[in-house]
Amino acid sequence: MAKKEKAAAPDGDEKPAGKSKLKLIIIIVVVVLLAVGLSVGGTLFFLGKKDDAPAEAKSEAPAAPVKQLAIYENVAPAFVVNISHAGRQRYMQVSVALMARDQAKLDALKVHLPLLRNQLNMLFASQNFDSLMTPVGKEMLRQQATTTVQELAKKEVGDGVVEQVLFTNFVLQ
């Protein structure tokens, strides 16, 4: 029995395998965590440098104008006009929205809404049916409407309030 115990007993030079694997895993985890931490820290350090510009440079540079948010005002009810085409009566229905950036000026323009509706009615009624059938013709009409509204706004309000006239619905019959 003593011989069996000697044969089963490990040599004194060998270390248990479980302890060396545990140390290796701990070392690898520490190295990975250190690498991730350094990576995050370096990224934050270099991205944060943009805000460290000298105060003199900040005060000398003119502030870039901030573009205000767009405000959309629907012109209701929709425009319905007659268009003559080859001896037939055709109809066009257009829903219009105005895009502006300043609510106070847009409110000042709303006072002149009957005049604006009249100008747009005259413009829409003077169109050619064949040209309105193409996307280019519709875009040209939209640009003409924008120009008409901008001219009216400059005349009545003193400023080109409306940036664009948009067609939200366009029906030809």
Domain harbouring 121, CATH code? 3.30.1130
Both 101 and 37 in one domain: the answer is no
Token reading at 157: 């309000």
Predicted pLDDT of residue 62: 60
Residues of the domain holding 128: 71-172
**What is the C-alpha to C-alpha distance for residues 125 and 118, in angstroms, rounded to an integer?**
11
35 & 84 share domain: no
Q: Is 1 a domain residue?
A: no
Per the structure, how many domains does the chain have? 2
In a domain, 115, yes or no: yes
| The pLDDT of residue 41 | 84
Residues 6 or more apart in contact with residue 169 via CB below 8 angstroms: 78, 93, 94, 95
The whole-model pTM stands at: 0.60
Instruction: Give the pLDDT score at 11.
Output: 54
Do 82 and 54 fall into the same domain?
A: no
- Within this chain, do residues 83 and 38 fall inside the same structural domain, yes or no? no
On whether both 40 and 107 belong to a single domain, the answer is no
Indicate whether 78 and 159 sit together in one domain: yes
pLDDT in tens, the chain (173 residues): 555 555 555 555 555 666 788 889 999 999 988 888 888 888 888 887 655 555 555 555 566 677 788 899 999 899 999 987 778 889 999 999 999 998 999 999 999 999 999 999 999 999 888 889 999 999 999 999 999 999 999 998 888 789 999 999 999 98
